[in-house]
Amino acid sequence: MEKVKTANQKSQSSLSFLKNLLIARWRSLLFLLIGVYLPLQVFEILIVKIWQNQAGLPWDVPILLAVHSTANPQLDILAVALAIIGLPWTAIPILGAIALILLLQKRWRSLAYLLTASVGSVIINRTAKELMHRVRPQLWQSIAPESSFAFPSAHAMTSVTLVAILLFLTWDSSWRWLLLIFGSLYVIAIAWCRLYLGVHFPSDILAGWMVALGWTIGVSLIIKPYETKTKSVNCDRSEDETTLLPEERKLITEE
């Protein structure tokens, strides 16, 4: 009887631990599901569909034609300007300036996140383009034609990556909500200009959004640039920015 009682207590203890663990970590698990798994799942579905049919998804052409039907000289100027602003090369000086500031402030963790997220995004985009070899739409003569492969959109990936990096770097400040609002408008505006110019299918844009979202959030869960709870005595920089977390030290020790 004693053995059975002991076994039951251990079982209840294990179940209680699992329940408490899931309750304590439900936000992180939900964040992982919505921020990483679902975007990457959508990206995978798009890859399969486009691999089977290079012409695109059923809603690609109708959306492009609907956007093109609004064309006028004023919107032409706006679309070209947004295309230049949204260029990956335009993001480099912005991210470079932020990286320099983080370097001078010795915010190593934030700097590691910025470099990993941005460089990784470029590598993913170039690799996916070369693997998919999807040609650009040719429904009309674009006023700003492109010659590289279309899938996924580099403009879409760059805009989401840039906004995501800025959001995670300002996670503990009140600026994040303002940044989220204007960042969302920026991402949508860049996407619109690519469709308006006729150089991307909507599925190219969606794929760029999804893979950039999954990548930047996934990297944040590993590097944790928002771990800034303990403040240094002589400055307002977090100690977590310049020291490893306990679990990170343990991993290095085990290796």
181 by Cβ neighbours in 10 Å (0-12 / 13-18 / 19+) ranks as exposed
The pLDDT score that the predictor gives to residue 126 is 93
The pLDDT score that the predictor gives to residue 227 is 65
* Spatial CA neighbour of 197 closest among 111, 105, 86: 86
Q: Which helix (H) or strand (E) holds 10?
A: helix 2-24
Torsion of CA 215, 219, 222, 223, to 10 degrees: 180
Q: Which residues pair with 149 in a beta bridge?
A: none
Grouped pLDDT means (10 residues each) for the chain, 255 residues: 51 68 73 83 88 81 92 92 90 92 87 93 92 87 87 93 92 84 94 93 94 92 69 48 60 58
The pLDDT score that the predictor gives to residue 12 is 58
Residue in the structure block whose two tokens are 């294990």: 14
The pLDDT score that the predictor gives to residue 141 is 87
CA distance linking residue 14 with residue 47, whole number of Å? 41
The pLDDT score that the predictor gives to residue 144 is 87
The pLDDT score that the predictor gives to residue 81 is 94
Answer for the pair 88, 158: CB distance below 8 angstroms, yes or no: yes
CA distance linking residue 7 with residue 13, whole number of Å? 10
The pLDDT score that the predictor gives to residue 2 is 54
